[in-house]
A = this chain, B = another copy of it.
Amino acid sequence: MVGEGAGERPGKRERTRLQLVQAAIQVFSARGVAGATIQEIAEVASMTTGTVYNHFATKEAVLQEVALVLARTLCERIAQSYPQVKEGAERMAIGQRRYIWLAEQSPQWALMLLDVSAATPLLLQGVLKYALADLRLGVKQKSFKVTSEEAAMDMINGAGAQAMLRVAMGQAPPDHGVAVATLVLRGLGVPPDEAAAVARRPLPPFPEEAPSAEAVPASGRKAARARG
């Protein structure tokens, strides 16, 4: 086509798509994945349902895209927050604590993350890649002793998700992140004292742009579809 203004470089289509994804994240946060509707996502994005379907074939596709974006954004930011840390054990602890910390900063957002995770394998896949790398690093450094990578990942992921949930629901004691990270490190084979010490080191600063959940009117999420 000709009419396409060259001045619109950053892709108008892309911008629209991004806005829709942002809106979807907001609505997923507010209503839960199951409770979200295409019409509300469109409305929040100040668009119409037709437009949503111009970008995504189906509601499921919106979910996939949200998962993808979430995974990318999250992983990058988290991974970039501790490039200088070379120790697998500490990297692992930081990862765990970071997610739990996020749940503290933005419970709604964390619940959404868990919800989206449960609904699509994509998100989890992306996130766990990093955890797996740290796990292997720790093993290579002889900090971790695991005979089954799968078992280790289940513990890491399971404990982390569970802790996020507890924190997001306001039922966690102070320093829950440190406590959980300590147990996980011990499980991975780090001697108790060292585990406690490593897990307690200060968290590196976190790049800006905290995840936003914004306001979506009323009639809160129907059933906290989170995992237990």
Contacts and interface: CB of A to CB of B under 8 A. Distances in A.
- The contact size tier of chain A is 35 or more
A74 interface: no
Given A148-B173, A187-B187, 8 more contacts: A118-B225, A118-B226, A146-B183, A151-B179, A151-B183, A152-B183, A154-B180, A183-B188
Contacts of A153: 228
Contacts of A146: 183
A84 interface: no
Interface centre among A157, A223, A228 (most CB of B within 10 A): A228
B163 A160 contact: no
Task: Please give me the 3 A-B residue pairs with the lowest Cβ-Cβ distance, nearest first.
Answer: A187-B187, A158-B158, A158-B162
A110 interface: no
